[in-house]
Amino acid sequence: MREMPLVLLALPVLTALLSVGAKNKKTLTQISLAGGGITAGLALWIAYTVFHFGPVSAGGRFIYIDSLSAFVMSLVAVVGLTAALYSVGYMGVEIAENAIPESRLKWFYFWFNIFLFTMFLVVMVANLGVMWVGIEATTLASALLVGFYDKKSALEAAWKYIILCTVGIIFALFGTIILYNAALPVIGEGSRSLDWFYLQEAARQLDPKLVKLAFIFVLVGYGTKVGLAPMHTWLPDAHSQAPSPVSAMLSGVLLNCALYGILRFHQITSHSLASGYSTRLLLIFGVLSIAVALPFIIIQHDLKRLLAYSSIEHMGIIVAAVGLGNRLALYGAFLHMLNHALAKPFLFFSAGNVTQHFHTKKIHKIKGAVLAMPISGTMLLLGAFAIAGAPPFNIFLSEFTIISAGFASGQYLPTSLMLVFITLIFPGMVYAATRVGLGVPPARIEKGEPSKWSATMALIPIIPLFVLGIYIPKSLDQVLQQVVSIFLGGN
């Protein structure tokens, strides 16, 4: 039982290998669903154990999972499973319409599952060096998925993605080496000096100059992957060109995995310096990202790029909330992480169905999606309201929590800026969604959904958005409180 986390890491790899060996589409689908289901089940079970019985370690401290890791791990599990479910319908339509040859489907599932494996690796390992290896591996595994359509635009996006993120992340490795250097005289040689748990314990003895330097490099490096401005330029390209299930994974959890890397360094830095050094930096980058997303959301002409810029906005909100730094703001930050991870894949699913049906991603060319596609169109419209922060959806609740935490702690300037930007983004999102959703569809568009699977996957995920917008279950509240306590360095 103790070594279950290792099994969890092995499962997606096994699914990937089986996919390559699969003979036809039906077997592939079965492998993907079975693999995805078991993986998600095991991950959630491990997370449950962590929440109730404390941190888990395995493979001789190779893996160490505390509440924060378990929290992000659950997000990876849930989004990974829903994306796998959605892939069945979406890829089915793509093959039926000859957008991709059936023979390449197995490579889709291969890289999809390897991608999943790398994300689990990032959140489960104890060693910051191995975490770097994992985050770089997420880029490598997903680059070919981004370029999966093999069209010019997709290849351009994939190339920019891999080059920009690899360069960015090299700076993060430099930061990791600097931190290792700082830890050597304190903790001693070997893996322990890169173990975030021990680093946090020994944080006060580390050379503050080196810690500061390490944090800047890591923030810029991993920040590139989180999509923080001004390093965000790869993100809209990659998210809009990837197949929609992959966009959902990129937006829903990949960004969070990279953010998880920053959070671990942030913990060490704030324990070490006992000043607001890293929180201030996070606040600045967070607010800047929201600001940068604003004009692009308002003038956007591509539906999937709209969603991508919205991801930049929401990662900015989470990072800024961590930067506000008090308990309530952190609670809001993690709640927002959950809410965004639930809402954005859902939007990419419904938007994926709509773009597939209308054969275009251009906002001005899509009209009357609600009439043409009663389920996906309606869900896209509702989802846009949800993501823009309208009550009674969950995003409203977490944004409200963050904003009130900011004002309560007297940080008026950044909080007001956030409030203004979020308010201005709202009409931008809603305008685009109503343009797409309302009106009468062109005559050439037939009525109906491209696939029952896809339509179901665009429908079900709205339930948690509603429920979490109205009340937060006690168990979730306890989990979030626990994550915040861990984050602040309690027990």
Q: Does residue 272 belong to the site contacting other proteins (CB under 8 A)? A: no
Q: Are 29 and 453 in contact (CB under 8 A)?
A: no
Per-residue contact string for residues 291-310; x = within reach of other proteins by CB under 8 A: -----x--xxxx--x-----
Determine if the peptide bond prior to 101 is cis (ω within 30°): no
Least distance in angstroms from the C-beta of 195 to other proteins: 10
Residue 480: Cβ within 10 Å count: 21
Q: Does residue 167 belong to the site contacting other proteins (CB under 8 A)? A: yes
Nearer to other proteins, 341 or 425 (CB): 425
Residues 53-92 that bind other proteins (CB under 8 A): 62
Q: Are 214 and 265 in contact (CB under 8 A)?
A: yes
| Binder of other proteins out of 8, 85, 124, 158 (CB under 8 A) | 158
Nearer to other proteins, 55 or 129 (CB): 129
Residues 192-211 that bind other proteins (CB under 8 A): 193-194, 209-210
| Binder of other proteins out of 17, 34, 96, 184 (CB under 8 A) | 184
Nearer to other proteins, 10 or 184 (CB): 184
Q: Does residue 173 belong to the site contacting other proteins (CB under 8 A)? A: yes
Q: Does residue 367 belong to the site contacting other proteins (CB under 8 A)? A: no
The tokens of 100 are what?
Answer: 């991709």
Q: Does residue 241 belong to the site contacting other proteins (CB under 8 A)? A: yes
Q: Residue 53, exposed/middle/buried by CB under 10 A (0-12, 13-18, 19+)? A: exposed
Nearer to other proteins, 97 or 156 (CB): 156
| Binder of other proteins out of 23, 53, 103, 190 (CB under 8 A) | 190
Q: Residue 58: what are its φ and ψ, rounded to 5°?
A: -150, 165
Least distance in angstroms from the C-beta of 454 to other proteins: 25
Of the candidates 309, 261, 318, which has an alpha carbon nearest to the alpha carbon of residue 287?
318
Which of left, alpha, beta for 24 (phi over 0: left; psi -120 to 50: alpha)?
beta
Determine if the peptide bond prior to 427 is cis (ω within 30°): no
Residues 390-419 that bind other proteins (CB under 8 A): none
Size of the site for other proteins (CB under 8 A): 53
Least distance in angstroms from the C-beta of 318 to other proteins: 24
**How far is the CA of 466 from the CAs of 77, 307, 339, 384, 422, in angstroms?**
21, 20, 11, 13, 20
Nearer to other proteins, 283 or 303 (CB): 303
Q: Which stretch binds other proteins (CB under 8 A): 100-108, 180-188, 362-370, 465-473?
A: 180-188
Least distance in angstroms from the C-beta of 379 to other proteins: 26
Q: Are 319 and 289 in contact (CB under 8 A)?
A: yes
| Binder of other proteins out of 42, 213, 273, 459 (CB under 8 A) | 213
Q: Does residue 14 belong to the site contacting other proteins (CB under 8 A)? A: no
Nearer to other proteins, 158 or 319 (CB): 158
Nearer to other proteins, 239 or 357 (CB): 239
Q: Does residue 162 belong to the site contacting other proteins (CB under 8 A)? A: yes
Least distance in angstroms from the C-beta of 209 to other proteins: 7
Least distance in angstroms from the C-beta of 5 to other proteins: 16
Q: Does residue 191 belong to the site contacting other proteins (CB under 8 A)? A: yes
Nearer to other proteins, 196 or 346 (CB): 196
Q: Does residue 10 belong to the site contacting other proteins (CB under 8 A)? A: no
Residue 410: Cβ within 10 Å count: 8
Least distance in angstroms from the C-beta of 180 to other proteins: 6
| Binder of other proteins out of 86, 117, 180, 277 (CB under 8 A) | 180
| Binder of other proteins out of 27, 57, 166, 409 (CB under 8 A) | 166
Nearer to other proteins, 162 or 333 (CB): 162
Residues 112-151 that bind other proteins (CB under 8 A): 127, 129-130, 132-133, 136-137, 140, 143-144, 147, 150-151
Q: Residue 206, exposed/middle/buried by CB under 10 A (0-12, 13-18, 19+)? A: buried
Q: Please give the residue ranges that form the binding site for other proteins (CB under 8 A).
A: 62, 127, 129-130, 132-133, 136-137, 140, 143-144, 147, 150-153, 155-160, 162-163, 166-167, 170-171, 173-174, 177, 180-181, 184-185, 189-191, 193-194, 209-210, 213, 236-237, 240-241, 296, 299-302, 305
